[in-house]
Structure 1
C-alpha cells in the first residue's frame, strides 16, 4: 500500500475531506429532500417550507395523514404523544452511525471524518451519545447544570440584561437581535464557561459562527465557516481548560472539570464537547427564544398587558412562547431495530422525524392550539426542549434567560414596537429572527 507524502495528505485533509463531509451531511440530504418536495412528498416540503418561511400549514397537512406519515425517506409525526414515545424509546437512536453505511459510500464517509472536530452533532456530544456512555456522561453534566445551579445565575443575568438595556439609552430605533437578543445569552454563556472578560468578544464570534452546525442543508461557505469556528474554539478551549484546572473559579465549567462519579470524571474530549454544546445550542436557541418572544408579544398586545398587570405570569408566558413558536422545529431519530409506532411497522434503519413545533400545537393536547395565551394552564406540556433521555440539558437556563431578558426589556420599554424589515433566519431546523428592528419608545417611569 502506497502512502501519500505528508504535504499531499495535508492538502487532502484540508481540501478534499471537508468537501466529502459537506456532501454527505448537507448537499446530499438537501438535494434529495428538494427533489422529494417537488414531487409532493410532505417530508421534503416540510423542510423547504421551514427555511425562513411559515411551515405550519405543511404541519397540518402532515397531521391530516394521522399519527404517522410515511414519506419516501422518513416517517414523520406531528402527534405529541407519538413524539414523546419515539424520543423515549430504546428502539431509536439519535445521531448518525457511519458504521451502518455499507459499501464504498460508507467507506468514503468514514475516511472523511475528522475526529478532532467536536461539534454538537458529533460524539461525544450529549445530543448524539447513547447509553451506556450517555448515562454516565449525562449524570455528571446534569449535576452541574441543575435548576438550583441555574437559579444562582438569575441575579447575574438580571444585571447583564440591565447593563445591555443601559447601552441602548438615547436610541430611538435599534436592531434588537444584534444589540440585545444575541448579547444577553452569549454573555451568560461566557459566565457559565468562566471566560475572562477580555476574551468574550472572541467567544461571541465562535458562538455566532458555530451555531448553524445544528442545522441541515448548509451551503459550502457556511459549512466551512462552521468547521473553522469549531476548530478554533476547540484550540482555545484546550488552553482555557488548563487555566481552569490550575485556577478553578465558581463558574459551571470549573465545577464540571472537577465533577466525579465513582472517582471518574469527564475526559478532555467530553469536556470540550459539553462546552461546545453549551456554546452552539445555548447560544442560538436562546437568541431565537428572545426574538420570537418579542415578536409574539407585540403581535398580541393584550397578552403583553396581562404580563404588565401580573408579572407572576412571566414563567408561564415563556413556556407558551416555546410552545407556539419554538427555537427548534424538529429533531430526528433512526430505528436501531424493527419496531412498531402508533400501529405502523418501522423497519430497522428507518429515519423518524419528530416535528416538535407541530406536536406543540396538537389539538388533542392543547385547546385552541394556534392561540397564543400566556395564561394557558398546560403550556409546560410542550416538547420544545425535546423529550426522553436527550431532553435539553440547558432547558432551565433557557427558560430563566427568556424570562429575565423579556421581562427586563418590556419593564423598561412597555411601548416597544416592532418595525418593518424583520426577517427570519434562513434555516431549516432552527427558527428565529435574523433581524428584528424595533422602536423602543419612552422608558417606563420608575414606581414611586
Structure 2
C-alpha cells in the first residue's frame, strides 16, 4: 500500500461515503444519485424530479439544482469556488489530511490542478496555458485530426469505443503534449483507471487503484519534462516547459489535467454521438442532406447526454442564492445534465434534434472562470470524428449490448459493439 493511501481515502472519500450511505438509508433523495444503479443508467428522470421540487433543493449532503438559470449562475457567482481542499475540517481529520498529502500523487482533482484551484492561482495557470492553447492553434490541428481519423477508419471498427472513439482524442492530445505515439494505449489505461476520482465516496479498493495509476502518470511525466528540457519540440508541453513560470508540481498538475481532460470527455462525446445517430437514423439523414449541420449535431449531443453530468461549487462567503441563504462551506451541486434538459430553455428537451437552434446554450463545458479550456478542441474532434465515421461507414449500426461506464460524474460508454 502506498504511504498515506488509507488516510487520503478516508479524508477524501471514506467519510463522505459513510455520509452518503447513511443519508441513503434515511431516504435522502440526493443520495440516490450516488448510490442507485438505476439513476446511473438513466439520470434524467432523477434530474426532472429535482428540478420540479424546487429551484434549489437541500439534502443532508448539499444543495442541488437542475435548473439551467441557477446551474449557470452558480458557475459564475463570485461567492462560490472550487477549492474543496480548503474547506474547514475537524482538527483530527485536518491533521490527518495534511500529513497524508506529503506523499500524495497529483491527479486531476488534486491541487494545484486548475480544476480545483481558485483565483488568483487559477488565473495565473490558465493565462500561461492559454498563451499556447489558442483558438488559432486548435483550428490549425484540423488537417492532422482528419488524417488521424482516416488512418483509424481504414479498418472496420468492431467496438466503436476501443477501435475509434478512444483512439482519436488520445492520439491528438498525445501529439499536443509531445507524448510518443507508442504510449497511447498506456495512457488510455492510466486515464480510464484514474477517471473515477471525479466521483464522490469511492470504495477503498477503487481509490487505491486510481492512486497507483496516477502515480504512474506522475512518474512518467517527470521524466518527460526532463526530456523536453533537453530536446524541446513544437508541442504545447515543450512551450510550457520553456516558459519556466510553473513549479514542477504546477507543471505536473497542468499536464496531467490537459492529458486527462483532453481525451476522457471527448471519448464520451464521440461514443454517445455515434450511439445517438445510430438510434435516430432520421437525424443522420438530415446530416447527410445538410452536412453544414454537423457542428450543431455535436452541440445537441453535448446538450442531450453530456459527457460531464455534474459539477460542484463551495460557498466562500454567506450569500443569498436561488432564494435560499447559503452559508460558507455549503456545497451547491450544479446538475449539468439536468440543466441541459430544462424545458424553460430547450423546448421538448427529451428529443434529440440536430436542427435545434439553441443547442449551443448547453452547460456541458461548465462556465465562468472554469469554462473548459479544451472546449474548442472537443468540438473540433467531435465534428470531424462523427462526420468522417458516418461518411466512411454509412451503414454503421449497433451490434450487441452497449456497456456504460460505471462512473457518475463522467457519462459515456465503456464498450459499443457495432457492425457494418
Q: TM-score, normalised by structure 2?
A: 0.95
What residue is the counterpart of 1:6 in the other structure? none
Is 1:192–2:176 an aligned residue pair?
yes
Question: 1:153-302 residue pairs with structure 2 within 5 A?
Answer: 153-168=141-156, 174-259=158-243, 265-302=245-282
Contact 2:80 2:313 in 1 (8 A): yes
Question: 1:347-426 alignment to 2 at 5 Å?
Answer: 347-426=327-406
Distance 1:403 1:69, change over 3 A: same
Contact residue 4 and residue 104 of structure 2 kept, 8 A = no
> Cα deviation per residue 1:171-205 (whole Å; 9 max; x = unaligned)?
7xx11111111111111111111112343333333
Indicate whether 1:19 and 2:6 are aligned: yes
TM-score when normalising by structure 1: 0.89
Q: Is the 8 A contact 1:335 1:351 kept in 2?
A: yes
Aligned residues: 419
| Separation in 2, partners of 1:145, 1:84 | 24
* Structure 2, unaligned runs of 5 or more: none
- Alignment partner of 1:142 out of 102, 107, 130: 130
Gaps of 5+ in 1: 1-13, 442-448
State whether structure 2 residue 19 is matched by structure 1 residue 32: yes
Aligned position for 1:444: none
Q: Distance in 2 between matches of 1:206 and 1:352?
A: 30
State the match for 1:334 in structure 2: 314
SS at match of 1:345: strand
Structure number with larger C-alpha Rg: 1
**CA, structure 1 residues 204+46, in 2 after alignment: closer, same or farther (shift >3 Å)?**
closer
State which of 37, 48, 53 in structure 2 corresponds to 1:65. 53
Question: Which of 22, 39, 43 pairs up with 2:30?
Answer: 43
Question: What is the rounded CA distance, in whole Å, between the counterparts of 1:48 and 1:324 in structure 2?
Answer: 23
Q: Any idea what the Cα deviations from partners look like across 1:48-67, whole Å, max 9, x if unmatched?
A: 34764111111111111221
Rounded to whole Å, the distance in 1 between the matches of 2:44 and 2:188 is 32
* Change beyond 3 A, Cα 1:376–1:176: same
Cα distance in 2 for residues equivalent to 1:108 and 1:30: 17
The aligned counterpart of 1:97 is 85
Question: 1:201–1:299: structure 2 CA closer, same or farther, 3 Å change rule?
Answer: closer
- Aligned to 1:166, the other structure's residue is in SS state coil
Q: What SS does structure 2 have at the residue aligned with 1:386?
A: coil
Worse-superposed segment, 15-24 or 362-371: 15-24
Distance in 2 between residues matched to 1:105 and 1:196, nearest whole Å: 41
User: Moved runs in structure 1, 4+ residues, more than 6 A?
Assistant: none
Deviation at 1:283, TM superposition (A): 2.1
Q: Please identify, of 100-109 and 385-394, the stretch whose mean Cα deviation from structure 2 is larger.
A: 100-109
Q: Give distance in 2, aligned partners of 1:124 and 1:434.
A: 29
